[in-house]
Amino acid sequence: MAKKTAVNEPLNLSSKNLNNEKKHKDFNVKKKGGSFTKTIIYYMKKNKWMTFFMILICVISSVATVLGPKLIQNMMANLLAPSSGLDYFNNGTKTVGELNNLLDGKVFISGDENQFLTEEFVSNSKNYFTLFFGLHFGWDKWIYLQLSLFVVLGVSAYFSSYLGGTMGKNVEIDLRNRSLEKLVKQDMSYYSDKKIGEILTKIVSDTQIIGDQTASVPVTMISAFITFFGSLGVLVTIDWKLTLIVIAIMFVLLIVLQSTFTVVGRMSKRVRKTITTINGDVTDRISTVRLIKSSGTEAYENERFNEVHKEYYKKSFTLITMQSFISTVMTAGISSVQIIIVICSAILYKDNPQYLTVTLSAFISGVGSMVGPLMTLSRLVSGIIQASTCCYRVNEIILTVPRIDTHYEEGEGIIVDEIEGNIVFKDVEFRYPEKPEQLILPKFNFVFEKGKSYAFVGETGAGKSTISKLLLRFYDPSTGDIFINDNVNLKDVHLSSYLDKVGYVEQEPQILYGTVMDNIKYGNFNATDEEIISASKKAELHDLVMSWPNGYDTILGERGFMLSGGQKQRLIIARMFLKNPQILILDEATSALDNIVEKEIQEELEKLMKNRTTISIAHRLSTIMNCDQIIVLGRNQGIVQVGTYEQLKEEHGHFKRLYEAGLMN
């Protein structure tokens, strides 16, 4: 049998760790998963091309943003050049060359170096230019360049939003799929202490929050990083003194942000926990709506919901207050940069108005470019914190290792093609992992011969249903082993290939939301419509279905709300006829039905049982009378009697007592 390969768990937990933990612990391992940052990095590595283009677009847009102020500086210098030129102009006695020497070396005047200048020529700003990679750029060309930058910024904004959004959806869907994949492979015991609504919140809402944040956070972060440092570089070239002031303000803001991060994180975690509990409560009440309706407790439930929401409101209110405070501090801090710069530059350069005009306009624009992404980032802070909380919660699902190895990984486990031998319980002892202190089935041995029928009887809580759970491998025996085909350990088989040969009918049949057709087909997806109808006829369901206006396309409500108990049972039996299993497990399949319906269903079941290994868990005499063997279980005693109905009826013992006490009727 192939050894189980390492599971590829990306989020902060190496496969090696997982396997080690699996070896050393008996029960499900829960370990804290990766943070939001680690999750994003994982997906960025996974989607290399998308990440490459995302970074490229961010670089292009950031460079365009960063260059903006430099263009303004040059444009302003060109526009203001005529006033400097006129200062030096001396009644047509200066040449172009002489004036070029007098201008500060950044701006030049066009024309032949020896040409004498007229006032009209000098006062026209179109005759001034700056060099840009050897090109002569007048102020109008700087405007065109600025406009081109806007186009670049527009196009890159579209693509960064497109790529970020796509990445976000990919992450959301992938996390959801991986969580679901993990949940369906999870042990039954995993669900013992969990509310479905709580799991739903993690799968539906938490993954969506992570996806939404992934759509904007990486792009904003990369842009903020490049723009911040790029702008800083440009600001230094414009004026280093003013740049130092900007750095000091940013440093203070960073410290404020960092210190509030942990507090808000804790608050956000509490809020998510509360809403998860509430969602768990809602699903719990919706699924037990019959109890509410039959008890007339609607008003009580309303009251309860109001109460639980008060707690949620209180926690959310504290979080919102804190978030608003941070947002105000950040916005005020960031906006104050520009005012502080205006004041400082006025103080520093009041004696040089021309320098002040050119520098200040360019510098303010540069500060604007630098703080823009920081502003966006500060608005994202609460989202990032919330996403981090969600990541830990989703990872709790993804990183929980099932105790039972179903061998579903590629190339694993023994494939069961046919049930061609007996089922052997060897030295089996069982305690529920959720309650290990209670011994349910003391050590016992038993052989279920191929093709024969068996019935388990016993008082309530004796462990009859536990037998079916062991046969379906909901649980493994605490000690001992179960073999199929005489000597194949159930623990070693590819579970799905075995369950494919097993039919399970329980007291509360599981009906899926969907059509009658889909419901019968579940378990044999390749079946044709004719085969489905034939199975339905065998289960005496066909006439009933045909009496409905939409026939086999009738949508059955969630959990078969629209069907009676007997109709649901027939549907499951039809499903079993279609599946044609080699082992049949009937877990009190007819105990919820009245005598007349039970009699009809029993006939269908007997047709189904023919020539199959059948294990029934039964209360009713009618179910067990014709079985080849009856196994009597005593509470905490395991098997206390085995025999045919005729033998046990005569024997003094447990069965006779149950029989005489009327427990078999």
Minimal CA–CA distance to 182: which of 443, 408, 384?
408
Cβ proximity to ligand ATP, 66 vs 632, nearer residue: 632
What does the per-residue mask of binding to ligand ATP show for 228-257, with x meaning CB under 6 A?
------------------------------
Cβ closer to ligand ATP: 166 or 465?
Answer: 465
Tokens describing residue 429: 């002892």
Of the candidate residues 366, 458, 523, 581, the single one contacting ligand ATP (CB under 6 A): 458
* Interaction residues for ligand ATP, span 252-291 (CB under 6 A): none
* Cα separation values, 588 from 255, 339, 465, 506, 574, Å: 65, 79, 8, 6, 17
Q: What is the closest distance, in whole angstroms, from the C-beta atom of residue 435 to ligand ATP in the complex?
A: 4
In angstroms, the CA 486 to CA 559 distance is 37
**Using the rule CB under 6 A, which residue among 97, 233, 436, 461 binds ligand ATP?**
461
Shortest distance, position 631 Cβ to ligand ATP, whole Å: 12
Contact, 188 vs 465, CB < 8 A? Answer: no
Run of H or E including 332: helix 298-349
The interface with ligand ATP within residues 386-405 (CB under 6 A) comprises none
Least Å distance, CB 188 to ligand ATP, is 7
Q: How far is the CB of 194 from ligand ATP (least distance, A)?
A: 12
Stretch that binds ligand ATP, among 267-275, 347-355, 407-415, 429-437 (CB under 6 A): 429-437
Q: Could you give the string, one character per residue 189-218, with x where binding to ligand ATP holds by CB under 6 A and - elsewhere?
A: ---x--------------------------
Decide if residue 466 touches ligand ATP (CB under 6 A).
yes
464 makes contact with ligand ATP (CB under 6 A): yes
Q: How far is the CB of 635 from ligand ATP (least distance, A)?
A: 8
Q: Is 97 in the site for ligand ATP (CB under 6 A)?
A: no
Q: How many CA atoms lie within 13 A of 138 on its CB side?
A: 9
Choose between 436 and 514: whose C-beta lies nearer to ligand ATP: 436
CB of 507 to ligand ATP, least distance (A): 8
Q: What is the DSSP string of 116-145?
A: BPPHHHHH-GGGEEEEETTEEE-HHHHHHH
Question: Taking CB under 6 A as the rule, does residue 463 contact ligand ATP?
Answer: yes
Instruction: Assess contact for 593 and 570: CB atoms under 8 A.
Output: no
- Contact status: 432 vs ligand ATP (CB under 6 A): yes
For residue 128, the cross-strand partners are: 109
**DSSP result, 466-483:** HHHHHHTTSS--SEEEEE
Give the whole-angstrom CA distance, residue 382 versus residue 266.
12
Is residue 508 near ligand ATP by the rule CB under 6 A? no
Give CA–CA dist 3/17, Å, rounded.
17
By CB under 6 A, is residue 225 in contact with ligand ATP? no
Q: How far is the CB of 467 from ligand ATP (least distance, A)?
A: 7
146 near 128, Cβ under 8 Å? Answer: no
What residue has token string 């980032």? 377
Single out the segment in contact with ligand ATP by CB under 6 A; choices: 219-227, 287-295, 375-383, 433-441: 433-441
251: its two tokens:
């440093």
Supply the minimum distance, in Å, between the C-beta of residue 432 and ligand ATP. Answer: 3
Interface of this chain with ligand ATP, residues 435 to 454, rule: CB under 6 A: 435, 440
- In the block, tokens 């207050």 appear at 321
* CB proximity list for 512: less than 8 A, separation 6 or greater: 518, 519, 522, 556
Q: Minimum distance from CB of 661 to ligand ATP (Å)?
A: 14
> In this chain, which of 460, 526, 528, 547 binds ligand ATP, going by CB under 6 A?
460
- b/e per residue 367-393 (b: at least 16 CB within 10 A): bbbbbbbbebbbebbbbbbbbbbbbbb
- Residues 6+ positions from 307 with CB-CB distance below 8 Å: none
Select 37 or 465, whichever has its Cβ closest to ligand ATP: 465
Least Cβ distance, residue 499 to ligand ATP (angstroms): 20
Q: Are 535 and 574 in contact (CB under 8 A)?
A: yes
Region of 235-243, 320-328, 412-420, 434-442 interacting with ligand ATP (CB under 6 A):
434-442
Q: Are 608 and 577 in contact (CB under 8 A)?
A: yes
CB 277 to ligand ATP: min, Å: 22
- Residue for token digits 């105990």? 591
479 binds ligand ATP, rule: CB under 6 A: no
Instruction: Candidates 434, 486, 594, 606: give the one binding ligand ATP (CB under 6 A).
Output: 434
Quote the distance between the C-alpha of residue 357 and its chain's center: 53
User: Which residues make up the interface to ligand ATP (CB under 6 A)?
Assistant: 192, 432, 434-435, 440, 458, 460-466
